[in-house]
Structure 1
Amino acid sequence: MSGGKQSLPSSPMCPLRRCLFCLAFLTLISFTCFSLKSPYFPPFLAYSSASSSSIPRAQVSSEKLGGAEPSLEEKPEAEERLSDIYHSPQVFGLNYAEMETKFKVYIYSDGDPNTFYHTPRKLTGKYASEGYFFQNIRESGFLTDDPDQAHLFFIPISCHKMRGKGTSYENMTIIVQNYVESLIAKYPYWNRTLGADHFFVTCHDVGVRATEGLPLLVKNSIRVVCSPSYDVGFIPHKDVALPQVLQPFALPAGGNDVKNRTTLGFWAGHRNSKIRVILAQVWENDTDLYILNNRINRAIGNLLYQKKFYGTKFCICPGGSQVNSARIADSIHYGCIPVILSNYYDLPFNDVLDWKKFAVILKENDVYQLKQILKDIPYQQFLALHRNLVKVQKHFQWNSPPIKYDAFHMVMYDLWLRHHVIKY
């Protein structure tokens, strides 16, 4: 009995020690298995290393996982394509797929289709993006005839078409105001959100001004515009930057052709803004930067302006009368890295695309150091920018009918993101 009494104080501790030991051992085993086999760990490593480390993605996976994870060449093509140019590749892929299957838009049928409503006057020229969107949305699967099933409502009024018919700015403002007020009076949908689930599309800057007669349209509705600068009241979290694309392109897209790009920088255009005047004055006679105070004269040769993009590393894109310019989409199409030289420009698809992966973003004051800034970019960084530039070309191309990931679908994706913040 005395021996039993001596052993009692130590007996409760034994099971506790055994439990703690087993718990520690199981934790170690679980952590090891997770690190070696988990399907979620490698992508996180890969995306982190792509943005913050110089170690190649495949090398990280191999070293960390002992060869258990597929190499870079074995990974799905879509995953690798999305990994370089988007802020959140996986989120974009999932949200885009959801948009394609669920997003529905209702178009008001009111208005005169022979004058100012529906498809604009043409699908060519520097304001073609507006016309393409009007045509594409009718060719797409996003439309619904049931307004109660719609996520957003499209106000189909084309200021570009009005301008083509010679309508004055003053009359445009009155027409837009009367048209929207008639929709408000006839339908209950605007009043549910004061227009927050409505949107209109305009590429010409006159279209932005023509809506000023109805403050609620500017303040509440989603404006899809080619002039996304803050001096026209652009609200980044609400409005959408419409890419200004000059189509059809005169020449094929540029690709893996960096060896042919011997000119450091190129710009040719009109001095219709302060930054363009300074650009021409400072660099017009430089030997490394090809800067012209006008478009290249067609009399000198056919398509010389477009061909110059093929032989240049960096194409300068200063803002004109507005911050937007079709030159940005031209640069992307022809494989010339765009140099955005503008203040307060909310670039198209900026909340989706990581522009710093395929463009050089500068402030206007950087124009005086422009040559040195471009020369200081390492060659390997230039190659990376060019590779990524080729990957984003599909996002700055309009098609009829529209195709997956093109400019139309990217605009619709931005609208899909905006609709999530609208509650009623």
Structure 2
Amino acid sequence: MPSRDDNHTGARIKEQRRIARLTQRELAARIPYSYSLLNQVECGARAATPDFVAAVAAALKIDVTALTGQPYVTELQQDRLAALVRPIRESLDLYDLGADPGLQTRPGAQLAREADDLCRTVRATHLRRAAVKLPGLVAELTSAAWTTPTTELWQALASTYRTAHDIAVKLGYFDLSSVALDRMAWAADRASDASLAAFRQYMRALVYFREGEYTIGQRLISAGHGLLQGEALTRENIAVTGQLHLGATVIAARARDQHAVDTHLEQAQDCATRVGDASEVHWMSFGLTNVKLHRMSAAVEMRAYDDAIGQARSLRLPAALATSRRAHFLIDRARSEMETGHKAAALGTLMDARRAAPEQTRYHPGARETISGLLHMARSTPENLGYMAAWIGL
């Protein structure tokens, strides 16, 4: 079996457990997982799944990132992405400074198109390209919106804040992602855009989903629905309503509530049937395909891995599906294949994810933990697995 250093999630769980002065049995008693599994995760013999990590973090009252080790500083520096984070952080701090007299801004329609292009770039998982362009566009839109406060400009600014959130999450900077969501609320309020405000609640709910705070996540989803009550039944509002139900689906799955999973999936499917492919609405990729992807993700979260693999094999993803969603599907599939002992298939699926979206895959905790699990299942390390492990930073 390959040697292993202490730079893995299980080792960090062990360290934080000791800081909390808990034995393995004491910690196991506080989480919905067995002592045996905790023991295997801590020594690196089993992968730490996202739901397991969230449960441990909640029990120890620490942030999930203390256990996952994100952001992956070495890899970010190698990819020259770390240096791009500070300008984004600085641009988010311009929101209340008014117009910049030294900055010449382009016409509002052009800025709105560029904000849309940035969303499209992130969906295509070109994170570096988006991160380079984002700070300048945020600065320009901020100044323009203060100078000429139109709905279009405030909406475009809210969109760039959403892009900042997406980039921060994908690179592991969750503190920065929270700031971006606060700024998004600020701009959506000035745009008087209920669908944007509701969509922001969906993204906030996913933050708590990652942290294992499912009750708060469910409340945020309900708050999102509340923002749309009384609004016109437009295509946009129906799509956002459906996306809120999809967010509720994965939260319910993580909470092991099958009835809620089925209910939200049914309501999301109803919305998708009414609007068809609504991928263009806030770049959510909402539609019948996304409902199917969330149905599979729910199976993964509920550890019904055989069911998840069966669904994955029957899915036919359209060519137009956003690369970010395709990569997420592949990472979910690889996790299910590993958990059911299909080691070669899991490795091949992760390699497909890398080819589709290298930047997203490299910084995705699910991909990292699946490779970690494959390393410890292997009697010897195949060349492709060793290559992937080195690439992802293990």
Verify same fold: TM over 0.5.
no
Structure exhibiting the larger radius of gyration computed from Cα positions? 1
**What TM-score does the superposition give when structure 2 sets the normalisation length?**
0.29
